[in-house]
Structure 1
């Protein structure tokens, strides 16, 4: 079985569980890791959660 991995759009590290979010005014959906997710959603009025991606 092939393991699927994505790279965090912020820290560029590979993770098997990622979070689809918008956190800038560009309205672009990106995948981020849990550590980066906590940073981008803190006091961010443009933050939107779009789901969890798992391997």
Structure 2
């Protein structure tokens, strides 16, 4: 029985990621789940960036 991490798509670039960060890109904007690359870009280049937590993939059996 194989186990693997279940990746989900980044809300910003659509790349699959096993770790995603809940962020806001503008005041009052909806929260999005971003891959590490997009999260780093927003954190460094966006003065309105706001961090809201981390989502990590769980092992999927089957």
TM-score normalised over the length of structure 2:
0.71
1:19 maps to: 21
- Aligned-residue Cα RMSD (Å) equals 1.8
5+ residue gaps, structure 1: none
Larger Rg: 2
2:48 maps to: 46
Between structures 1 and 2, the one with greater strand share: 2
5+ residue gaps, structure 2: 58-62
- Runs of 4+ in structure 1 off by over 4 angstroms are none
User: What secondary structure is seen at the aligned counterpart in 2 of 1:24?
Assistant: coil
Aligned length: 55
